[in-house]
């Protein structure tokens, strides 16, 4: 088995704005494992919020080349690397490689019948009229609305709801709210019939969530990475966002999803902005999830070929040529 690592850049269609940054491109790290006859790939999206850099993640993956050559398994990987983007790239590459080499699809290994999924479509943070226009133009049944500005989020969500009265709305504040505006913004979300609020407060400063009512269910994102974090969420959150790049790959994402359900938490399957190769493994543990947000490729100016097939808001299962 031989490991190679590549850094690739994909332009974002326009700009993608959240509470703490604006991006115009997605830089991803791709791990490829091959034996001369079979090839497995995994894509990771390093995230600066978690103190990751593209260069650092690529170096961490490359450092595992000798272990891969010696026959590294997914179980070995979980002990050898911490959760995060680097481990995700390798874990997903190993899943794909094992499927290609054995001829047994990942879905069969997991005992799954893959079904199409309804995915959210993300609206970047902007002025109320801009976000309302974007919501109407999107024409999607499920929208994820980025909020978290210093002020005016109540007007933003009201404007979006007026523009799309029948759409299901998820709000993502990306840690942008505080104790001063939390209740006002939550009340505005409740008035707008929002189905879920993601990470309203900064991770580590979210204890107040255990002391207030939740007129809208609250989902942990930055506050949760792996199964080990779930116990601390009880009483504060109603749901968890399970992402491959946080959990460190499909292996832990599956375990985390099962543990979250056992803890009575709803499950959202989310993503960073990456290509279809990054989304494909997530479609497996997204089967049966309460909310699915795997729209990364839809936000790009170009995707991989072949990529995932989106029919409006419907995400089709990945073809084996792409992954799995």
> Into how many domains does the chain fold?
2
Is residue 118 a contact partner of residue 129, using CB atoms and an 8 Å limit? no
The question of whether 146 is a catalytic residue gets the answer: yes
Q: Give the domain-ending residue among 104, 136, 166.
A: 104
What is the pLDDT at residue 15?
87
Note whether residue 111 is domain-resident: no
Annotated catalytic residue within 144, 146, 246, 266: 146
DSSP letter assigned to residue 121: E
What is the pLDDT at residue 137?
96
Note whether residue 321 is domain-resident: no
Same domain, 91 and 123: no
Note whether residue 36 is domain-resident: yes
pLDDT tens for the 324 residues of the chain, in order: 999 999 999 999 988 989 888 899 999 999 999 999 999 999 999 999 999 999 999 999 999 999 999 999 999 999 999 999 999 999 999 999 999 999 999 999 999 999 999 999 999 999 999 999 999 999 999 999 999 999 999 999 999 999 999 999 999 999 999 999 999 999 999 999 999 999 999 999 999 999 999 999 999 999 999 999 999 999 999 999 999 999 999 999 999 999 999 999 999 999 999 999 999 999 999 999 999 999 999 999 999 999 999 999 999 999 999 999
Domain range for 203 is: 117-315
Note whether residue 137 is domain-resident: yes
Same domain, 21 and 164: no
What is the pLDDT at residue 281?
98
| CA 214 to each of CA 15, 221, 235, 271: distance values in angstroms, whole numbers, following the listed order | 32, 17, 10, 25
Tokens 């050559």: give the residue.
69
**CA-wise closest residue to 45 among 74, 16, 67:** 16
- Considering the entire predicted model, what is its pTM? 0.95
- Looking at the chain, the number of H-run helices and the number of E-run strands are 12, 14
Q: Give the domain-ending residue among 76, 104, 132.
A: 104
Same domain, 50 and 20: yes
Same domain, 128 and 259: yes
**CA-wise closest residue to 172 among 228, 120, 132:** 120
Annotated catalytic residue within 100, 243, 246, 266: 243
CATH number, residue 16: 3.30.390.10
Report helix, strand or coil for 10.
strand
Note whether residue 323 is domain-resident: no
Same domain, 213 and 92: no
The question of whether 266 is a catalytic residue gets the answer: no
Same domain, 159 and 277: yes
What's the CA gap between 69 and 49, in Å, rounded?
Answer: 32
């Amino acid at each position: 088995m031989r490991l190679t690592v590549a850094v690739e850049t994909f332009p974002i269609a326009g700009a993608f704005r959240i509470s703490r940054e604006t991006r115009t491109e997605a830089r991803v790290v791709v791990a490829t494992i091959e034996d001369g006859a079979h090839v497995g790939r995994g894509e990771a999206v390093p995230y600066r919020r978690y103190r990751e850099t593209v260069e650092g993640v690529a170096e961490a993956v490359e450092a595992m080349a000798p272990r891969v050559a010696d026959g590294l398994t997914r179980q070995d990987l979980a002990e050898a690397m911490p959760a995060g983007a680097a481990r995700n790239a390798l874990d997903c590459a190993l899943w794909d490689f094992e499927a290609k080499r054995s001829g047994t699809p990942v879905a069969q290994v997991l005992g799954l019948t893959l079904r199409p999924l309804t995915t959210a479509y993300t609206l970047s943070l902007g002025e109320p009229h801009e976000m309302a226009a974007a919501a109407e133009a999107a024409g999607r049944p499920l929208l994820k609305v980025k909020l978290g500005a210093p002020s005016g989020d109540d007007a933003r969500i009201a404007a979006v709801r007026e523009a799309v009265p029948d759409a299901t709305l998820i709000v993502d504040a990306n840690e942008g709210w505080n104790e001063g505006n939390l209740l006002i913004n939550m009340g505005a979300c409740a008035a707008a019939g929002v189905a879920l609020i993601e990470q309203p407060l900064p991770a580590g400063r979210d204890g107040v969530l255990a002391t207030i009512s939740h007129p809208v269910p609250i989902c942990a994102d930055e506050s949760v990475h792996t199964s080990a974090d779930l116990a601390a969420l009880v009483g504060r959150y109603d749901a968890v966002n399970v992402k491959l790049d946080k959990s460190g790959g499909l292996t832990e994402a599956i375990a985390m999803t099962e543990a979250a359900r056992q803890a009575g938490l709803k499950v959202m399957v989310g993503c960073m902005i990456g290509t279809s190769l990054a989304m494909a493994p997530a479609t497996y543990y997204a089967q049966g999830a309460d909310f699915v947000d795997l729209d990364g490729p839809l936000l790009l100016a170009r995707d991989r070929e072949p990529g995932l097939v989106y029919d409006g808001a419907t995400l089709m299962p990945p073809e084996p040529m792409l992954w799995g």
